[in-house]
Amino acid sequence: MKRKLLLLTLTATLLFTIGCSKKSQALRNENYAIVKGLAYDDGAAAPREARAMADSHVYEEAGGTGETDSLSANYPDAERKLIKSANISIRVENLSAAEDSVNALLKKYDSYAASSNIQENSRYYSLRVPANYYDIFLAETGGMGRLINRYENTEDVTLRYYDLEGRLATKKELLKTFQAYLGKAKTIEEILSVEARISDLQYEIEGTGIQFRNLANRVDYATIDLQLLGPVLSASSNQGLTFGERIKQLFGGFGGFLSTVAMVLLGIVIYGIPVLLLLGLLFLLFFGKIGLAKKLWRLIKS
């Protein structure tokens, strides 16, 4: 009898577990159907946008390195986007005049200094110049003085530029689709799902927009790091001196040495001789013919 009761109990428990599992699966399927319906409602445009958004997520997860031949085929006639930069060092004779020339160039070519560092005998500028004025701006800086160093770099960001632009446009269109659907949602679950997706899209649009604007700014404005070096001030440096100037510098140093020796001898004459005379007088007074010290010693001994 106990075995029958135990068998009936196990059978009932098993049937109850199976029934709950089927009900839970049905609820999951129902929820999936609701969410799936949100992305594909209102015509055939939404599925294309959803697929484009999914493709963009794959690109983001891959680290944005999808610059392949297939991507370049999507922009066959696109304008090439380049980021240009240069680093220049120039030796000038007059720092104030060179600084005025830099300010004049900035005004002439609608440029600006992103940062500057002013020191006693040098100036450093990080300049942002419109890309279409980059070459002529560099050419005119060459007239400020003697070129010490010049380095240029060009980075091709065409694929990245148009990819970011396309992803941004796709996300904005998808946002409009979900915003339109929000007014048609009937249940609380649908409203919450749509609002959550809208919030995610707005966050993604903001992040992608920041990346695109930063890249576009670097494309539109080239960066020129300009260093102006003043004339050599150190007397110990022979850079740029002629042979005659070096001879003059050599004898100038020798003349300084002679003047030092003369000052030492003069000091000996002025102070040394009186000191020697005073010491000789004291020796005669105490230990010489006068012998005061000897006489005092004799008195004490007697």
Angle CA 293–297–299, to nearest 5: 120
* The length of the chain, given as a count of residues: 302
Does residue 37 lie in a domain region? yes
Same domain, 257 and 122: no
Are residues 251 and 220 both part of a single domain? no
pTM of the model: 0.52
For residue 37, what pLDDT is reported?
Answer: 34
Residues 196 and 168 in one domain: yes
- Is residue 17 assigned to a domain? no
Q: Is residue 80 located within the same domain as residue 121?
A: yes
- Residue 158: inside a domain, yes or no? yes
pLDDT at 248: 65
Same domain, 291 and 205: no
The per-residue pLDDT for range 114-135, each reduced to its tens digit, is: 999 999 899 999 999 999 999 9
- Which residue range(s) make up the domain with 173? 23-231
pLDDT of residue 181: 86
Query: Does the residue 200 lie in any domain?
Result: yes
Q: What is the DSSP string of 136-148?
A: HHHHHHGGGSEEE
On whether both 250 and 113 belong to a single domain, the answer is no
Model confidence at 200, in pLDDT bands (50, 70, 90)? very high
Q: What is the mean pLDDT of the chain?
A: 75
Distance CA 111, CA 104 (A): 10
Q: Are residues 275 and 251 in the same domain?
A: yes
Residue 12 in domain: no
Tell me: do 220 and 255 sit in the same domain.
no
Q: What pLDDT is stored for residue 243 in this prediction?
A: 59
Spacing of C-alpha 82 from chain mean position? 19
Pairing of strands 221-229, 82-91: parallel
Neighbouring-strand partners of residue 119 = 122
How much of the chain is helix, strand and coil, in % rounded to 5?
65, 15, 15
Q: Which of 176, 206, 231 marks a domain boundary? A: 231
Assess whether 257 and 113 both reside in one domain: no
From the number of C-beta atoms within 10 Å of its C-beta (0-12, 13-18, 19+), residue 122 rates as middle
The number of distinct structural domains making up the chain is 2
Whether residues 71 and 130 share a domain: the answer is yes
Tokens in use for 53?
């958004």
Q: How many percent of the chain have pLDDT more than 90?
A: 41
For residues 142 and 260, state if they share a domain: no
Query: Is 8 within the bounds of a domain?
Result: no
138 & 208 share domain: yes
Q: Is residue 164 part of a domain?
A: yes
Rounded Cα–Cα distance for residues 1 and 53 (Å)? 65
**Is 209 contained in some domain?**
yes
